[in-house]
Structure 1
């Protein structure tokens, strides 16, 4: 297929007719005649070598190819719209931008809810798509598949920009009634002796290294018997076993509200973990991106005071 042979207007018409699944309705929405819409659909059927819309009783249904085409058309036309928009055109009240964010379940469970309500107030038509952590996400950012990453990523690629959102203090959690943990929390000896659960996203020590460094300064080592890839399941494991864990405080407080967990001060000084926002150089000067970055920073900063 030669791109020069494709009229962008036909792609707009194709998206409308595939969405409506009705030629006349689609034509009316675009302000063109029904014969013109039929001709445009016929041309697209030739281009894609697929009927795209097929009769299903009294209605029309999308072919499998059409479903894939529609999914990609939405993304492509959005990117073209963003390309043609000038900074002066960006208005969060009117924007229909879709921002894709990756982050651990700690980000999804604890941090994203903090911005959903204010976002609806300041940018009511904006959509957030949340995805789990992905390896080589910087390349996906470069390709436009992902807009932002939120978390602690010390090895972030040089092509990424970053801003600190907040720092998260570590606390210790154990099940309520744990016989090996006193009311004031575990002593240092108890902490070292008890079995631990620890999150290792992608089997990396991003969230465990501050704990190990604090122990190494005292010449100690803990006993990690369970390695998990995500945070929220760890809460349930600790609540139903004799394992303890050292986790970000907001996660611990969330777990304490929904599970039989106790939150304790750790028996050693652990460097707080920085939670930052990451984005690619390709979107650095995009006005909509800039607004959304500032929005996130402005709404997460007050969390530091809680």
Structure 2
């Protein structure tokens, strides 16, 4: 007997289920979840409170959950309601994108706000040039930079239903369309008063560290590689910003691993030294990631072209500054 699990037959029940739903409920759900109040949701939507209450009743029956309930003299979301909040916002953003699409795309006319999720280090490297390219090609568009906080990266597929691009190294995101945009090497940054000679592998084991990201779900590829080599950093300071690490090293015995291209940025403090890492950590391979539903969208292809161009100019302009073995 032929299998009934064909793509078409799987899609048909989904289509029937959606046909029986009023997608306007998604707008009401988003407002209720955001305001945690039927009254404020109604004011936000410009409808009556009874209309929102009726929609909320339908949503409660659909999900078999209260979503919003009274606790004492105020209302708050149920645990399920809290879980729905981000997914609802992402789903609504996806719907908005569908209906904002145009059969033809003219960059000079678009007013789209593009969102790029990445570290401050990558923003410092690519931000100015990418902004210039967007201004030249699409003067009415906007660019929003968001920090690559661990939760967004860990839920990359969901995150990228609501945002355009994530620029993070290979090793954090899987099973999504991607393109490598540049490579970098890792250097050890230290204060020369405490590091008269290049650090050794033993120094990596015994010296206190400034680590950029340090949790069960977040660390740099270099820190993960260190641990794979049996070197467990003695973490003294943790920051979620590459650009703050040099200041946290200055005047101390602490060391930090930073991408070499940061030597071209003014944030590297005068007086710090930078050395090649005494153990092989491999390269940092920075990539551009996006949701598969956006692969063929003209406006999104346009953004990827600009990012590709900005990265190409970065690579062509790379001064390959030598790693300093003495104070800057």
TM-score by length of 2: 0.61
Matched, 1:139 2:158: yes
Question: Is contact 1:201–1:230 with CA below 8 Å preserved after alignment?
Answer: no
Question: Is contact 1:172–1:264 with CA below 8 Å preserved after alignment?
Answer: yes
Structure 1 pair 302–294 and aligned structure 2 pair: CA distance change class (3 A): same
Q: Which runs of 5+ in 1 are unaligned?
A: 6-43, 51-74
CA distance, structure 2, for counterparts of residue 147 and residue 100 of structure 1? 5
Matched, 1:101 2:112: no
CA distance, structure 1, for counterparts of residue 259 and residue 210 of structure 2? 13
Find 1:289's aligned residue among 284, 300, 310. Answer: 300
Matched, 1:231 2:242: yes
Q: Which runs of 5+ in 2 are unaligned?
A: 1-20, 25-42, 50-92, 319-328
Shift of 1:161: 0.8
Question: Is contact 2:178–2:287 with CA below 8 Å preserved after alignment?
Answer: yes
Structure 1 counterpart SS, 2:280: coil
2:211 is matched with 198
Shift of 1:193: 3.4
TM-score by length of 1: 0.65
1:152 is matched with 169
Structure 2 counterpart SS, 1:180: coil
Shift of 1:262: 2.2
Find 1:127's aligned residue among 142, 156, 159. Answer: 142
Question: Is contact 1:173–1:252 with CA below 8 Å preserved after alignment?
Answer: no
Shift of 1:277: 0.5
Matched, 1:209 2:209: no
Shift of 1:224: 3.4
Question: Is contact 2:262–2:268 with CA below 8 Å preserved after alignment?
Answer: no
Structure 2 counterpart SS, 1:112: helix
CA distance, structure 2, for counterparts of residue 280 and residue 172 of structure 1? 35
Question: Is contact 1:163–1:276 with CA below 8 Å preserved after alignment?
Answer: yes
Shift of 1:270: 2.3
Matched, 1:181 2:196: yes
Shift of 1:171: 0.9
1:79 is matched with 97
Structure 1 counterpart SS, 2:247: helix
2:75 is matched with none
Question: Is contact 1:195–1:225 with CA below 8 Å preserved after alignment?
Answer: yes
RMSD, aligned CA = 3.5
Structure 2 counterpart SS, 1:292: helix
Q: How does 1:160-171 map to 2 (within 5 A)?
A: 160-171=176-187
Q: How does 1:112-123 map to 2 (within 5 A)?
A: 112-123=127-138
Find 1:301's aligned residue among 273, 287, 312. Answer: 312
Matched, 1:267 2:278: yes
Find 1:110's aligned residue among 125, 129, 132. Answer: 125
Tell me the alpha carbon deviations over residues 92-136 of structure 1, each in whole angstroms, 9 at most, x when there is no partner: 222222111111222233332331122211222221111122242
